[in-house]
């Protein structure tokens, strides 16, 4: 391959006409690579890229561009995948599809289950219409599910701060 000289149009150069130049002394680049690799290995809990299947990747793209819900068969959902999808500032909407003949989750994800497990644990709920913060407990929050109001007004609440609990799905 020939390269046209910028200062003289009648000259051209070939690759062998160029000499590699470096600001490093001999051996410095190799040592720098060794040092950087050692530093990377020493980092605690370094985040590695997370690989997803092509179908999940396509669903994530559709969710990003069109707001579609990601539908995942239960046998494809791992804890790592769930954390990957749910740990964003704006988590992906997920629907877990049951596999015929298999339990969907290890635990029953019902209001009664969470009230029993976390009971008196404090949490904050937010009124979805007014934005008001309401201190409550997990049992009180879930105890309101399906209950009629004496005033016939509906208060729409969502939990905005709850304790972390490690439950394997």
> Which pair of tokens denotes residue 120?
């008196």
pLDDT in tens for each of the 169 residues of the chain?
665 666 666 667 777 777 777 677 778 888 888 888 777 776 655 455 667 888 888 888 888 888 888 888 888 888 888 888 877 777 788 888 888 887 777 777 788 888 888 888 888 888 888 889 989 888 888 888 877 767 767 777 887 765 555 444 4
Q: What is the dihedral of CA 72, 76, 77, 78, to 10 degrees?
A: -160
In the chain, what are the domain boundaries?
Answer: 2-42, 54-97, 111-161
């Amino acid at each position: 391959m020939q390269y046209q000289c910028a200062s003289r149009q009648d000259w051209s150069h070939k690759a062998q006409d160029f000499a590699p130049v470096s600001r490093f002394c001999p051996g410095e680049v190799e040592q720098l690579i060794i040092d950087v690799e050692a530093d990377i290995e020493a980092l605690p809990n370094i985040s590695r890229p997370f690989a997803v299947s092509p179908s999940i990747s396509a669903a994530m793209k559709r969710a990003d561009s069109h707001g579609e819900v990601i539908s995942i068969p239960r046998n494809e959902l791992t804890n790592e995948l769930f954390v990957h999808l749910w740990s964003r500032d704006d988590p992906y909407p997920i629907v877990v599809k049951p596999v015929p003949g298999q339990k969907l989750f290890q635990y029953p994800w019902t209001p009664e289950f969470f009230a029993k497990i976390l009971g008196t644990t404090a949490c904050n709920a937010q009124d979805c219409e007014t934005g008001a913060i309401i201190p409550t407990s997990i049992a009180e929050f879930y105890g309101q599910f399906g209950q009629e109001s004496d005033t016939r007004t509906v208060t729409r609440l969502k939990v905005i701060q709850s304790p972390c609990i490690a439950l394997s799905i």
